[in-house]
């Protein structure tokens, strides 16, 4: 999706996968998707990515620059994969806040992190990425992993993340993107549309939700478009890393 596509959209409507829906309805529709897949979310991630999502997340945290004693917010943190990695980095003197708009996903994250014995320095907050319920300049790092494409108004979410980031802080956006090689793009499309919904039906008993997730990736801004959007709201030194040939991209921006 390029900037022209975004500008031409009716302000009262947005996309939900390939469907056009009222903008006011998207949050609820996305919430229904994630409530329906919450208990199988981690298993499906392993199956769909053949375990590669763990490497993508490890790389993202490695690029964060987060140190002991710092405060990190993981937006749309779901089942807590990134939060767990950050918790080990900040140590007992730091703090991790796991946030999500979806109650079912947030509860899954809490349960998984408790099972890992990570309790002392993790807080849980239900909040919308477009209007994060935190004070200005209150986090050293803000991350969002595979959640930005589900936000109704991406510009608002980026602005909200910029607002709560401290000077010299860093935002990490890990998200599916555009493969950089034509052949890889064709193979990826074939796998996504033929295999992933089938896995959703067999493993999670929910083909429709995983078809939406595949479609939502195609509606998400490409690497350069997202970079421009981040710069527009104030992030500086914005750069991105293509992972797995651009199937996933890690965007990094700083507040100077």
Phi, psi of 20 (to 5 degrees): -95, 130
Residue 97 β-bridge partners? 73, 123
User: How large is the average pLDDT for residues 49-67?
Assistant: 97
Mean pLDDT (the chain, rounded): 93
- Confidence at 109, pLDDT banded by 50, 70, 90: very high
The pLDDT value given to residue 5? 46
pLDDT tens digits along 138-186: 999 999 999 999 999 999 999 999 999 999 999 999 999 999 999 999 9
pLDDT tens digits along 82-102: 999 999 999 999 999 999 999
- Confidence at 6, pLDDT banded by 50, 70, 90: very low
Number of alpha carbons in the 13 Å side-chain half-sphere of residue 44: 26
Evaluate the CA torsion angle 218, 186, 42, 122 in order and state its sign: negative
E strands within 82-206? 95-100, 122-126, 139-145, 165-176
Decide if 2 contacts 72 (C-beta within 8 A). Answer: no
Model pTM score = 0.92
- Confidence at 62, pLDDT banded by 50, 70, 90: very high
Q: Which domains can be identified in the chain, with CATH numbers?
A: 29-255 (3.40.50.150)
Burial of 31 (0-12, 13-18, 19+ CB in 10 A): middle
């Amino acid at each position: 999706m390029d900037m022209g596509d975004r500008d031409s959209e009716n302000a009262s409507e947005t996309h939900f996968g390939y469907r056009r829906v009222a903008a006011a309805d998207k949050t609820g529709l996305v919430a229904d998707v994630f409530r329906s897949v919450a208990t199988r979310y981690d298993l499906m991630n392993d199956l769909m990515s053949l375990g590669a999502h763990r490497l993508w997340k490890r790389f993202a945290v490695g690029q964060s620059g987060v140190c002991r004693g710092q405060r990190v917010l993981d937006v749309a943190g779901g089942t807590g994969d990134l939060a767990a990695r950050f918790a080990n980095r900040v140590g007992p003197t730091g703090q991790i806040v796991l946030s999500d708009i979806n109650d079912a996903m947030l509860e899954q994250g809490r349960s998984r992190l408790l099972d890992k014995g990570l309790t002392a320095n993790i807080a849980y907050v239900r909040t919308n990425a477009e209007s994060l319920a935190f004070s200005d300049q209150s986090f050293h790092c803000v991350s969002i992993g595979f959640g930005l494409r589900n936000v109704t108004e991406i510009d608002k979410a980026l602005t909200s993340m910029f607002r709560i980031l401290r000077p010299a802080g860093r935002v990490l956006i890990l998200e599916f993107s555009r493969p950089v090689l034509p052949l890889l793009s064709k193979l990826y499309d074939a796998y996504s549309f033929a295999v992933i919904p089938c896995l959703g039906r067999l493993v999670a008993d929910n083909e429709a939700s995983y078809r939406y997730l595949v479609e939502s990736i195609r509606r998400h801004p490409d690497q350069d478009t997202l970079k421009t959007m981040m710069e527009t709201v104030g992030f500086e030194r914005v750069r991105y890393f293509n992972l797995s040939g651009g199937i996933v991209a890690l965007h990094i921006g700083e507040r100077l």
